[in-house]
Structure 1
Amino acid sequence: MSKFPSYPNYEVVRQLGKGGMGVAYIVRSKDSSVTGFLALKQVHCQSKQEGTGALKEAKILRSLSHVNVVRYHDVFLHLERGMQFVCTVMEFCRSGDLAQHLLQTKQSGSQIEETICLTWMLQLSTALAYLHDKRVIHRDLKPANVFLHLMSRSDFVLKLGDFGLSATLDGRNRTSQVGTPCYLAPEVLFNEPYAEPIDVWGVGCIFWEMVSLEFLYERKGMLAANVHTDPITQDSLPPKISVNVRKLVSACLNSSPQDRPTARELCKHLHKLLSGQPLQLEKIKVEPLDWTQPLMTGIGAIAE
């Protein structure tokens, strides 16, 4: 008897990982027209209603198509030992996640070149701008949810993934406290209404770890806990990092959500830095987004 679950349309190759939210496998499709490996994440549902809702809500994830967003292929319900699971099948990024890469870089005594950091920041900001245009907020941005896709021998493309706590917006802010503690935005930590700016805080945390190799989970206390009384400034980051990058990271980590740059503004700032232009953190006029799309909560999201 196989130690792995049996799925109608997929064959499990091996277990990829296991955590509090569920288990992940590398799988192959039984459809011969689908080649290569895929990643399957299995998460337990507390009720039939939750599972049915997750299937409906997952449609938006399947509709996402962006070079810097992990591609979702399939979502289905799976019954096993009397329990119901939501299974999400997605693109498999064989080069692992950014958290692993940053840790390996630090352990080797190396640093990531600033130009590469800026390029990766731009990739993540572009993905975030795409999601926000679709009225999707991720709500759990951290290096472990950013995946590396190897394009050439040493050239990686970053992809945002693991939308297990994502939500779409309908013009109202959210209030439920979700996410990973050390990466929580202040408005989430203090149970205040929130929207897209929590993702900008999240990418700010990713940028912090990327350029400094100082990991937030090693800090005493959460970054957001004292940000109102002890604001994060460019001097909060190591002086070896260029002034412009430190300014941009600290702007993302502003205690006030409305004073953080939007994802679109981040893209513009990063384009300027990569082309050698000076950084000007003025607010940039952008086209208004469509606020009329219906509300849906992402797979595995905590009830609002």
Structure 2
Amino acid sequence: MAAIESQLIVGQVLQSSSTQYTIIEFIGEGCFGKVAKCHVNSTSELVAVKIMKDTFVQDVEEELSMLSKINVLDPDQFNLVKFHERFEYSSYTCLVFELLEMDLFQYLKTEIGSSMYVNQIRPIAKQMLVALQRLQSLGIIHSDIKSDNVMVVNTEEDALQVKLIDFGLAHPSSSATPGRWLQPIGYRAPEVCLGLSYTEAIDMWGLGCTLANLYLNANLFPVRCEYLMMKAMVEYLGMPSEDQLLFGMHTKKYFCQEADELGLTWRLLTPEEYSGINGVKAKEWPPWRPHFYSLDDLIYIFKEEDAAEFMDRREFIDFLKHLLTLDEEKRFSPTEALQHPFITMTHLSQDADSSDYLTTAQALMPTEASLSDTPVKDGEAHVAEEADKVPPTPASSQIRHNETDVPKVPLSHVKDDNESVQEPSQDWGKEVHLPATQNDSGICSFPEQFPHHCDECLESGPSKNGPVVEEVPFPMPKRFKNVRRFFSRIRKTFFSCCSSFVQE
């Protein structure tokens, strides 16, 4: 890194065989090198140039191999970053990409200011599913889906357009090797954690974690300790299956068998057992991080603001359940996910009382033709065939009412419809438990600070399986701090549509 810092400066010209790129500023860095915002001297276009250190020659070749396959697709239509060229400059390998505005972590922090409503999450989810469906048709596993690697094209657009970036860890599904460590902590699929064989389904798990991150304004699973990540999986989703535990190469890193009256049963290791077996001290569960009984609990961490929004929220949580399924064979494929009511909005269109909410939700969706409207290319017929086999999606799961003897600290309490929300005292020394009951709907009372929950952005390169930084508690959800800007965009879209209608 020091060599790159000493030899490359702002104003320097990088010369390829046909183009000159003038460095305007450095916009990111990682273990691979740096990313520079550059001016194309011949066209005045702005691009992002990824400048790789010579020690990453093999990584460059692998990334180029994936980019060459992806380049057969229309990057705009399928929400993938556009790759321009590769060239050598001095002792560096340079990869030139289109310049995008900011990643989702930056967008959430600077444009939204808090967690997203589910109707804001939907366009992001749909566009990423379109991208993952096309990657799956090419037999490519991205293996690093996270908030940093989803970029917003232009924040000034009314309908948010995003693209998937960073193929530094992408590889063919045919070369997937059981036991290989992939994905950052907190975004790592259970089959990768346990050392099982894996497929493109790990990207669906990563997408589920990313969308939950947007909804919570924090990570669903802890990102600073592998043990806590697995502990959270077990608490929220249950134990992995007997087959997963029996055949996992890394099972005994997290679980053990013990005899009881029913025979041998599996259980999660205690923190002390984990530390002794792995030689790595398990971190303690942060006192501010709530324990969820299931993903259903996520429905109630925000107060019900509108009946249609609450119905939409329930469908979103049901959608998350299908992405965050422990068994990869039962996990949604991109094609199945694109047909879920949360994406299609059929649950809103069938409810007459949801018309205003539906209009707002539709205004937030990008206008580009979706994947389902595009012809299937040669070699992609199996994707179309898969769509015909999709079983009907069940209605949102019924909320389970869980009882426990463990003392609970409610996140909020609402006595009746005429009372304001009373926030509990912040006794952060106790674990917070969220029973999934109708009476616990309300605004959760979390500390206000926001965790920098992603280790790297496009400019800082692939994660190389490094941890995602998380040092401060869940935030107090403000639910779209820039609400004035949000509704001004909706009004702008509405009046634009009215104007077009009148003219016609």
Q: What is the rounded CA distance, in whole Å, between the counterparts of 2:328 and 2:316 in structure 1?
A: 19
Residue matched to 2:100: 93
Residue matched to 2:336: 265
Local SS of the residue matching 1:104 = helix
Q: What is the rounded CA distance, in whole Å, between the counterparts of 1:90 and 1:192 in structure 2?
A: 34
Residue matched to 2:110: 104
1:166 deviation in Å? 0.8
1:21 aligned partner, one-letter code = F
Change (3 A) 1:288 1:60: same
**Conserved 8 A contact 2:222-2:232:** no
Q: What is the rounded CA distance, in whole Å, between the counterparts of 1:145 and 1:301 in structure 2?
A: 10
Q: What is the rounded CA distance, in whole Å, between the counterparts of 2:176 and 2:213 in structure 1?
A: 31
Q: What is the rounded CA distance, in whole Å, between the counterparts of 2:57 and 2:318 in structure 1?
A: 48
2:348 aligned partner, one-letter code = G
2:230 aligned partner, one-letter code = A
Residue matched to 2:131: 127
**Conserved 8 A contact 2:186-2:219:** no
2:105 aligned partner, one-letter code = A
RMSD: 3.2
Percent same amino acid among aligned pairs? 22
Change (3 A) 1:16 1:271: same
Cα displacement string for residues 234-273 of structure 1 (whole angstroms, at most 9, x for unaligned residues) = 3252413622111111221111111110011111114333
Change (3 A) 1:123 1:275: farther
Local SS of the residue matching 2:205 = helix
1:286 deviation in Å? 5.4
1:93 deviation in Å? 0.8
1:7 aligned partner, one-letter code = L
Q: What is the rounded CA distance, in whole Å, between the counterparts of 1:12 and 1:272 in structure 2?
A: 43
Residue matched to 1:293: none
**TM-score between both structures, scaled by the size of structure 1:** 0.78
Q: What runs of 5+ residues in structure 1 fail to find an aligned partner?
A: 279-284, 290-298
Q: What is the rounded CA distance, in whole Å, between the counterparts of 2:96 and 2:337 in structure 1?
A: 30
**Conserved 8 A contact 1:51-1:77:** no
Report how many residues are paired.
278
Tell which deviates more after alignment, 57-66 or 10-19: 57-66
Q: How does 1:151-190 map to 2 (within 5 A)?
A: 152-170=156-174, 175-190=179-194
1:287 pairs, out of 385, 402, 409, with 385
Residue matched to 1:229: 234
Change (3 A) 1:21 1:186: farther
Change (3 A) 1:117 1:8: same
Is 1:39 aligned with 2:39? no
Change (3 A) 1:29 1:104: closer
Query: More strand per residue: 1 or 2?
Result: 1
**Conserved 8 A contact 2:213-2:220:** yes
Q: What is the rounded CA distance, in whole Å, between the counterparts of 1:49 and 1:111 in structure 2?
A: 39
1:229 aligned partner, one-letter code = V
1:112 aligned partner, one-letter code = M
2:320 pairs, out of 245, 249, 260, with 249
Residue matched to 1:282: none
Is 1:69 aligned with 2:69? no
Cα displacement string for residues 165-189 of structure 1 (whole angstroms, at most 9, x for unaligned residues) = 1112338666421222221111112
1:27 deviation in Å? 1.2
Local SS of the residue matching 2:153 = strand
Q: What is the rounded CA distance, in whole Å, between the counterparts of 2:24 and 2:129 in structure 1?
A: 33
Residue matched to 2:412: none
Is 1:8 aligned with 2:15? yes
Change (3 A) 1:174 1:286: farther
Q: What is the rounded CA distance, in whole Å, between the counterparts of 1:29 and 1:174 in structure 2?
A: 43
Q: What runs of 5+ residues in structure 2 fail to find an aligned partner?
A: 1-6, 238-293, 303-309, 351-382, 388-460, 465-504
Change (3 A) 1:274 1:104: farther
Residue matched to 1:24: 35
Cα displacement string for residues 192-221 of structure 1 (whole angstroms, at most 9, x for unaligned residues) = 211111000010011101122123576664
Q: What is the rounded CA distance, in whole Å, between the counterparts of 2:196 and 2:295 in structure 1?
A: 26
Tell which deviates more after alignment, 8-17 or 210-219: 210-219
1:210 aligned partner, one-letter code = L
Q: What is the rounded CA distance, in whole Å, between the counterparts of 2:349 and 2:177 in structure 1?
A: 35
Q: What is the rounded CA distance, in whole Å, between the counterparts of 1:28 and 1:2 in structure 2?
A: 15
1:49 deviation in Å? 5.7
**Conserved 8 A contact 2:34-2:51:** yes
**Conserved 8 A contact 1:186-1:224:** no
1:234 aligned partner, one-letter code = L
Tell which deviates more after alignment, 215-224 or 68-77: 215-224
